[in-house]
Amino acid sequence: MKIGIIGSGVVAQTLGAKLIELGHDVVLGTRDPQKLDEKKNMTGTLREWLQQNQNKGKVVTFPQAAAHGELLINATAGGISVEALKIAGADNVGSKVLIDTANILDFSKGMPPRALASQDNCVAETIQTAFPNLKVVKCFNTIGAPVMVNPKAVGGGDHTIFVSGNDSVAKAQVSEILKSFGWTDILDLGDISSARGPEMYMAMWIRLWGATQTGMLNIKVVR
Amino acid sequence: MKIGIIGSGVVAQTLGAKLIELGHDVVLGTRDPQKLDEKKNMTGTLREWLQQNQNKGKVVTFPQAAAHGELLINATAGGISVEALKIAGADNVGSKVLIDTANILDFSKGMPPRALASQDNCVAETIQTAFPNLKVVKCFNTIGAPVMVNPKAVGGGDHTIFVSGNDSVAKAQVSEILKSFGWTDILDLGDISSARGPEMYMAMWIRLWGATQTGMLNIKVVR
């Protein structure tokens, strides 16, 4: 499938590489695709990413990424996601399925970062409101990038991932991608307002990360 | 041990009954101990609670409950916890260990209730700031009352409970109580600021409750 990822950081690179490995046609969108040699946080440069993926992926602009994808992924920081999608363009975004992976993290007051999601500040809902035709599915924001694409690396994969969104067909499509990554316990939380749960949970994840000293963790919903 | 519970709702009654069963000397504090026949949400009246526990527990005022306890438990609603503790009295509260179980839930906009915790609105931190000598330990707020005292009722007990607080000895004491309830995976999240994690998680718990249609659930931290 043609997949357009809005963003080029660690989440974009990690999801992009896995999707390429699975045979998808993936592009990463970034503000300036000429800047291939800037060091990205926690990962290498985009030039290195292209090489590691045998140049099967491409690095393009936000509008080109949105136009390319039959399925879109928002992998920008939550605070700038709507701006990035506006640059991508409402016409290019259209009424496609968009997987929103974003969290709103404030690093300005030192570590640990402050997850700023609240009942009135939810990235997925904000995107859905700004682009009413888009089929937004919240997913992936509750785990670190390495776990997103390799659930078996934590406790053999016996833990839970969440989807929220208004469109059942879109959630089913995202669930198929999750299964192709190895996810077995996929919990549908409900409509897009239910994304407040996983977004506010990020504050808990940050404390779990601090307490366990590893990002290779996740929660299993025992019921 | 002499335990004073500030509050008389479902959490107070449930924790109180279990602690009585384990041989502790328990009182519940309420605004007006004469009103034993008011129906409490989800549970019976306080008169029924007294009878069910063979009158081994007592229902007293907030100040009497705080004075009675060598260990205190805050089981009031998060929005009124500091007020309740002020009524209980700084002298009665002293420098005791206080287990804070509270969440700030807003039912004014219908169901599901809105968990209002944020980086700037954390009950446990607010209590600790208002009563600097108190040894506040955040615990129990991430699960429904029946699970608090009977972890084995969910998935055989293979899931996680959290403690946050500035005082290691106090957290160790609370952990002993947790073990006496059957808890086996007790995760220390750090100082009292780490209570923001479990308090913001309540927004996630509410969505898990909605998605699974049961409050008999908890999360296991897989790491």
- Find chain A residues with C-beta within 8 A of B197's C-beta: 203-208
Is A146 part of a structural domain of the chain?
yes
Model confidence at B71, pLDDT cuts 50, 70, 90, reads very high
Q: Per the structure block, which two tokens stand in for B174? A: 């609370």
**Rounded to whole angstroms, what are the CA distances from A55 to A19, A209, B81?**
13, 34, 59
Is the peptide bond prior to B112 cis by the omega test (within 30 degrees of 0)?
A: yes
- Is the bond preceding residue A112 a cis peptide, omega within 30 degrees? yes
CB atoms within 10 A of CB B37: 10
A159 touches chain B (CB under 8 A): yes
> A187 to chain B: which residues are within 8 Å by CB?
208, 211-212
Beta strands of B96-184 (E only): which ranges? 97-100, 105-106, 114-115, 135-138, 160-165
How confident is the model at residue B190, as a pLDDT?
98
Contact predicate B174/B137, CB 8 Å: yes
**Amino acid sitting at position B113:** P
Across the interface, whether the CB atoms of A116 and B119 are under 8 A apart is answered: yes
Spatial neighbors of B13 by CB under 8 A, at least 6 apart, are B28, B40, B43, B46, B49, B145
| Of the partner residues A159, A210, A211, the one whose CB lies closest to the CB of residue B222 | A159
Biggest distance spanned by C-alpha atoms of chain B: 49
Token digits for B95?
């420098």
Q: Does A186 touch chain B (CB under 8 A)?
A: no
pTM surpassing 0.95? yes
CB contact under 8 A, B211 and A187: yes
Please say if the pLDDT value at position B2 is more than 70: yes
CA within 13 Å, CB half, B59: 23
User: What gap in Å lies between CA B192 and CA A108, rounded to an integer?
Assistant: 20
CA distance B208 to B59: 34
Task: State the nearest Cα–Cα gap between B119 and chain A, in angstroms.
Answer: 7
> pLDDT for B73-86, tens place per residue?
999 999 999 999 99
d(CA B26, CA A17): 58
Q: What is the 3-state secondary structure (H, E, C) of A76-138?
A: CCHHHHHHHHHHHCHHHHCCCEEEECCCCEECCCCCCCEECCECCECHHHHHHHHCCCCEEEE
Q: Flag whether pLDDT at A57 surpasses 80.
A: yes
Question: Which residues are paired to B97 by β-bridges?
Answer: B71, B135
Note whether residue B88 is domain-resident: yes
Tally of domains within chain A: 1
Question: Is B223 a member of any domain?
Answer: no
- Nearest 5°: the CA angle B87, B77, B120 is 95
Average pLDDT over residues B204-209: 98
Contact list, B158 vs chain A (CB under 8 Å): 222
How do A114-115 and A105-106 pair as beta strands? antiparallel
Assess if residue A221 is contained within a domain: no
Question: Cis omega before residue A113 (within 30°)?
Answer: no
pLDDT in tens, A74-110: 999 999 999 999 999 999 999 999 999 999 999 999 9
CA A158 to chain B, closest CA, distance in angstroms equals: 8
Separation in Å, CA of B208 to nearest CA in chain A: 7
Q: A194 in a domain, yes or no?
A: yes
Estimate to the nearest angstrom the gap between the alpha carbon of B75 and the chain centroid: 4
Structural tokens at position B28: 């519940």
Q: Which of A196, A205, A217 sits opposite B222 (nearest CB)?
A: A217
The predicted pLDDT at position B73 comes to: 99
Domain with B144 in it:
2-212
Q: Say yes or no to pLDDT of B38 above 90.
A: no
pLDDT in the model for residue B41:
67
Picking from B114, B116, B211, the nearest residue to A188 by CB comes out as: B211
The answer as to whether A219 is a domain residue is: no
Q: For CA atoms A28, A31, A35, A38, give the dihedral sign.
A: negative
For residues A204 and B221, the answer to whether their CB atoms sit within 8 Å is no
* CATH code where residue B43 lies: 3.40.50.720
Helix (H, G, I), strand (E, B) or coil at A173: helix
| Coil, strand or helix at A188 | strand
| B206–A204 C-beta distance less than 8 A | no
Residue B151 maps to a domain: yes
pLDDT score for A41: 67
Q: For residue A39, what pLDDT is reported?
A: 75
Give yes or no for a contact between A20 and A56, defined as CB atoms under 8 angstroms apart. yes
**Alpha carbon distance A183, A180 (integer Å):** 7
pLDDT at B25: 98
Let me know: does B142 contact B103? Beta carbons within 8 Å: no
Averaged pLDDT, B135-143: 99
Which candidate, B210, B35, B164, places its Cα nearest to that of A223? Answer: B210
Query: Is residue A222 in some structural domain?
Result: no
**Average pLDDT estimate for B197-204:** 98
CA distance A92 to A95: 9
Q: What is the ipTM of this complex?
A: 0.96
What number is the average pLDDT over the span A126-154? 98
Q: What is the pLDDT of residue B213?
A: 96
Could you read off the pLDDT of B96-119 as tens digits, one per residue? 999 999 999 999 999 999 999 999
